[in-house]
Amino acid sequence: MKILRKGGHVVAKVAGVALCRKSVKPSKDREGGIFSVERFIDISNIALFDSEAGVRTKVGYKFVDGKKVRYLKGSGRVLD
């Protein structure tokens, strides 16, 4: 995954997601044809995946020992 800040928006490029087909004319440097190209998507369209439960999940905040930590709402597991 590649994350990019662009004009006040945060976008990400995720492998295998948002594939588009692009037609390219042949030139001296490369062969022409139709290629699959990965496009950027908005960061709000990406969810965290809980590997223990095997599903996507939301993130919440709670205080543990006086420190604010992030946790997965589905399993309750604390994130780093």
Verify that 42 and 61 share a domain, yes or no. Answer: no
Verify that 4 and 34 share a domain, yes or no. Answer: yes
Residue 76: pLDDT band with limits 50, 70, 90 = confident
pLDDT of 57 over the 80 cut: yes
Report d(CA 71, CA 80) in Å as an integer. Answer: 9
pTM of the model: 0.55
Is the Cβ–Cβ distance between 55 and 64 less than 8 Å? no
What are 6's two structure tokens?
Answer: 């662009």
Is the Cβ–Cβ distance between 19 and 37 less than 8 Å? yes
Verify that 2 and 36 share a domain, yes or no. Answer: yes
Look up the domain containing 57 and give its range: 47-80
Q: Which residues are registered as beta bridge partners of 60? A: 71
- What is the per-residue pLDDT across 1-46, written as a single tens digit (0 to 9) for each? 788 887 888 888 888 888 999 999 999 998 999 999 999 888 888 8
Number of domains comprising the chain: 2
Verify that 2 and 30 share a domain, yes or no. Answer: yes
pLDDT for the residue 32 = 92
